[in-house]
Amino acid sequence: MILLLGGTHEGREIAEILNALGHPYVLSVTTSLGYDLYHTTAGNCIIKKFTPEALSTYIKAEGIHLIIDATHPHAEVIKTNARVSALEHDILYWRFERKTEGTLPRNVSISKYTSISKAILSLKEIVRDDEKLLITGTKHIPEFLATFKKSQCVFRIMPGEDSMAICMANGVPIENIIAIKAPCSLEMNRCIFKDFNINYFVFKNSGRGSAFKSNIEALEDTAVKGVIIEPHTVIVDTLFEDLSSLERALMIYKPQ
At residue 74, the pLDDT reads 79
pLDDT by 10-residue block (mean), the chain, 256 residues: 92 95 95 89 91 93 95 85 92 87 72 93 96 95 96 95 94 96 92 97 83 90 93 77 92 84
User: Looking at residue 75, what is its pLDDT?
Assistant: 80
Each domain of the chain, given as residue ranges in start order, spans: 2-97+234-252, 109-229
Is 109-229 in CATH node 3.40.50.620? yes
pLDDT for 235 equals 67
In the prediction, which pLDDT does 177 show?
Answer: 97
CATH topology of domain 2-97+234-252: Rossmann fold (3.40.50)
237 phi and psi angles, rounded to 5 deg: -70, -40
One fold for 2-97+234-252 and 109-229: yes
Q: Does the predicted TM-score (pTM) go above 0.75? A: no
